[in-house]
Amino acid sequence: MARKVKNPLKYRKYLLAETVLRNPFIPHAPTKKQATFLTESCLECLYGGAAGGGKSDAILMAALQFVDCKGYHALILRRTYADLTLQGAIMQRADEWLRGTPARWVAKDKCWVFPSGATLTFGYLQNENDKYRYQSSEFQFIGFDELTQFTETQYAYLFSRLRRSDKHNQKIPLRMRSASNPANIGHKWVKSRLVEGDKDGRKFIRATLKDNPHLDEDEYRRSLSELDPITREQLLNGDWDIRPEGGIFKREWCDIITPQELPPNIRWCRSWDLAATVKKKPSDDPDWTAGALLGLADGVWYLKHVNRFRANPKGVQDSIRATASSDTRSVQIIMEQEGGSGGVNTIDYYRRNVLVGYKFSGYKPMSNKRDRAAPVSSAMEAGNFKIVKGNWNEDFFEEIEFFPFGAHDDMIDAVSQGFEYLSNYEPIMLA
């Protein structure tokens, strides 16, 4: 895989025999689809799509392929530590395969050490910044089990850990491997990057229940039949195009209107959710500053605009001032006032220096984020929430559909805060 060969098919067979079939740490032969996955030479490869296709076995086999080589280090990741340790999960499966072999388990490092000195480590990325725990590490294999549970920035950052020193055996390929079903917070980017982006350097190996002879297909189908139709299609057939149901919000509840359809008697509020962070590297995924222009008229809510951006503190202030100018001085502006003197000072600074002459006030939310979002969801479901068509709509829908488990909640926080304010205070009417 790290060298050019005259006969790729012959080399694939050789590689499978040497690294899998004769590997004392892999207890059974792979399926045909797993064998294809194990002999791919591309840098990135995704396996699976449907449930029951042998995804975890495929990832574990791939991680173990080169453990006979000195200088080989593999990492397998799940989103949480609990995911790693569940009954039947990948870390327990590794224990079943490796217990009683010459490999040695180092509990404090969650790592198997092999006679060659090679290692297989298990880790997790529960929070976005957990990726930095690996910033001084070096791996030749990184495997993501259930990739759609991760953010793209977590995935992208781990490429910086995928490297090979000159002293390492050049036989060892560098591989980023993953397995996943559709859905979850990473559905969109995984589909775009690996399912639809199948090309040189990236491959997608589609595997379904029929590709795994080790499972009772009829029994597994019966168990999946208890699921809702959307989830069943995702897990049974690996359908990446069907849209997931459920959650607190659904885009189908929202009517999209043009600015000309707005009634004249709307009471408006621009609500800001602050963050002052700059995206310094492609792998970073900091919070956004988001400002929602929300209005209320005759019991119907109108979301006219959401301004979302990343900037340093000065850039945030400049953008908020520019947005206020665009909204006109008749719009009430609110900003969450955090507890303590720091929150008071922030509001005072904006009042004296940033939003002079505008109707501006700090606001102390009456409930937590999820509770604030609930009445917004109810208004949407009842058909009392309309959204003005704009280029920000898709980002907003993507965020709310995964709330509260998505990577970001800045826009819905701003909307929910404005909703709570307008519900409890007499807002300013836009002329």
Give me the percent of the chain exceeding a pLDDT of 70.
Answer: 84
Span 247-258, pLDDT tens digits: 688 888 989 999
Last residue of a domain, one of 237, 264, 297: 237
* Its pTM surpasses 0.75: no
The C-alpha angle with vertex 62 and arms to 60 and 406, in degrees rounded to 5, equals 65
Least confident segment among 21-25, 280-284, 369-373: 280-284
Runs of H (alpha helix) within 294-389: 313-327, 340-349, 369-381
Distance CA 47, CA 65 (A): 16
Predicted confidence at residue 174, as pLDDT, reads: 94
Predicted confidence at residue 266, as pLDDT, reads: 94
Span 101-150, pLDDT tens digits: 999 999 999 999 999 999 999 999 988 889 999 988 999 999 999 999 89
Residues 6+ apart with CB under 8 A from 197: none
Q: Does one domain contain both 202 and 326? A: no
Of residues 112 and 286, more confidently modeled: 112
- Residue 20 pLDDT level (bands cut at 50, 70, 90): very high
Q: Does one domain contain both 212 and 279? A: no
Predicted confidence at residue 430, as pLDDT, reads: 38
Residues 6+ apart with CB under 8 A from 349: none
Mean pLDDT to the nearest integer, 65-69: 95
- Residue 429 pLDDT level (bands cut at 50, 70, 90): very low
For 289, the domain range is 251-429
Cα–Cα distance list, 8 to 12, 101, 187, 201 (Å): 6, 32, 32, 16
Q: Does one domain contain both 230 and 279? A: no
Give me the percent of the chain exceeding a pLDDT of 90.
Answer: 54
Torsion of CA 407, 54, 182, 403, to 10 degrees: -30
Residue 88 lies in a domain: yes
Predicted confidence at residue 428, as pLDDT, reads: 40
Last residue of a domain, one of 237, 268, 290: 237
Q: Does one domain contain both 275 and 155? A: no
Q: Does one domain contain both 196 and 332? A: no
Predicted confidence at residue 390, as pLDDT, reads: 92
Q: Provide the domain count of the chain.
A: 2
Span 88-102, pLDDT tens digits: 889 999 999 999 999
Of residues 413 and 8, more confidently modeled: 413
Distance CA 173, CA 152 (A): 23
Of residues 230 and 423, more confidently modeled: 423
- Residue 402 pLDDT level (bands cut at 50, 70, 90): confident
Residue 27 lies in a domain: yes
With a cut of 90, say whether residue 223 has pLDDT above it.
Answer: no
Last residue of a domain, one of 191, 206, 237: 237
Mean pLDDT over each residue of the chain, to the nearest integer: 86
